[in-house]
Amino acid sequence: MYTVTCIAPVNIAVLKYWGKKDEELILPVNDSISATLDTDHLFTKTTVMTSENFKEDRMWLNGQEENMENCRLQRCLTEIRKRAKHSKHLQWKIHICSENNFPTGAGLASSAAGYACLVLALAKLYEIKGELSSIARIGSGSACRSVIGGFVKWSMGSLPDGSDSIAKQIVPASHWPEMRVIILVLDDTRKKVPSSIGMRRSMETSDMLKLRINYVVSDRAKRIERAIIEKDFETFAICTMKDSNQLHAICMDTYPPLFYMNEESRAIVDLVHTYNETVKKVQVAYTFDAGPNAVLYLLEENVPEFLGVLLYAYPEIGKIEYCKGLPRDNILISQELNKAMNIKPHEISPPVRIKCMIHTKLGDGPKYIIQPENHLLNQKGLPINHV
């Protein structure tokens, strides 16, 4: 019997991936750039086990047994097995158990962390060496970026077999240690239109997406990459916000339109712009994926002041139980700033119901867990909490 457990991070794109030129191989229509978040706060944990006693391949996801017929999962397994053809125990069946420590399918990149984790765990189980982001990519496009820490670029590539559509690190997390991320979970239920379906619909119907691919993305990619290397927060933030806005404009231009952001998300956008205008500097950037939750990028030195603004604008944040991540004990509420911003707590319309706030930073990428007591499968190959 062999067992491997891996922990993989969530990544949040600052230059979005939206649209595929090949749906089977998951080849994107543009390069994308993301930050890998710290696994101390958000992660997927996966244990894979192989044994000659197992009768069939089985998988459990967040406590529920899942159907192994899922074609993306099968594609990953086939590729792994192809690369592991010399492994001695390749004929044995496998058991997989995976858990997220955050809501699944709520626009928090759970499939990215999930497939990255699965691929890395299996690669270690079968001792596969070499490039692994391309295997994670065929599970879920954005997963290829979760295989690596720091700021990461997924190059679309040009080869028809997708072998050059891989993720590479731009800089490690230590390059910009002051970077902080605040996630405001406004809705923790599964999204209505999954991103794969949404982006297919955009590819079929949105003229704006063609414009983005041909005229916008490559210049913006260069600017944002340079901003990251030079630690130029203002350029980084403006590019990030514009790219998020463009993604959601394309969603509106898709027919029928896709609504991922809601009124509450737009209230957060407003608040960020009002704050930046008031302090006369771009100090906070927002970005939204295929869901209403806001992800904010900001520097550590501005966290106390911006948390003060958030807490003043949305007093209920102080009461929510589900707050995770770095400490929030140095919140600075400035009456002067609140007055200048002209925010009126309780009067914000619509009322923003923040379910959870996560304060985190960049991380170094996935890691393996060696201690057997941390595996998710027991000696019989069943989930430890199995009844």
Give residues in contact with ligand DP6 (CB under 6 A).
13, 16-18, 26, 32, 111-112, 140-142, 195-196, 289-290
Smallest gap from Cβ 247 to ligand DP6, in A, equals 6
Half-sphere exposure in the Cβ direction for 76 (13 Å, CA): 27
Residue nearest ligand DP6 by beta-carbon distance:
141
Smallest gap from Cβ 114 to ligand DP6, in A, equals 10
Nearer to ligand DP6, 201 or 223 (CB): 201
Local structure of 326: helix, strand or coil = coil
Give the distance, in angstroms, between the CA of residue 11 and the centroid of all CA atoms in the same chain: 3
> Which structure tokens are listed for 285?
């950037």
Nearer to ligand DP6, 275 or 288 (CB): 288
Nearer to ligand DP6, 98 or 140 (CB): 140
Which residue type is seen at 175?
H
Smallest gap from Cβ 181 to ligand DP6, in A, equals 14
Nearer to ligand DP6, 15 or 352 (CB): 15
> Which structure tokens are listed for 28?
């994107």
Smallest gap from Cβ 194 to ligand DP6, in A, equals 7
CA–CA gap between residue 115 and residue 136 (Å, rounded)? 6
Nearer to ligand DP6, 22 or 277 (CB): 22
* Structural contact between residues 133 and 104, judged by C-beta atoms closer than 8 angstroms: no
Nearer to ligand DP6, 21 or 328 (CB): 21
Smallest gap from Cβ 57 to ligand DP6, in A, equals 21
Smallest gap from Cβ 199 to ligand DP6, in A, equals 6
Provide the β-strand partners of residue 297.
Answer: 181, 285
Smallest gap from Cβ 221 to ligand DP6, in A, equals 12
Smallest gap from Cβ 196 to ligand DP6, in A, equals 3
**Alpha helix (H) ranges present in the chain?**
71-83, 110-125, 133-137, 195-205, 207-211, 217-230, 233-253, 263-279, 303-313, 335-341
CA–CA gap between residue 135 and residue 115 (Å, rounded)? 9
> Which structure tokens are listed for 133?
């982001």
Nearer to ligand DP6, 138 or 337 (CB): 138
Smallest gap from Cβ 345 to ligand DP6, in A, equals 31
Nearer to ligand DP6, 196 or 278 (CB): 196
Nearest 10 degrees: CA dihedral of 103, 104, 108, 111? 150
* Structural contact between residues 147 and 133, judged by C-beta atoms closer than 8 angstroms: yes
Residues 132, 366, 306: CA angle, nearest 5 degrees: 125
Number of H helices, E strands in the chain: 10, 17
Nearer to ligand DP6, 286 or 312 (CB): 286
Local structure of 371: helix, strand or coil = coil
Strand 367-369, strand 2-8: pairing: antiparallel
Sorted by sequence, the CB contacts under 8 Å of residue 360 that are 6+ apart come out as: 37, 38, 40, 41, 42, 180, 181, 182, 183, 324, 325, 326
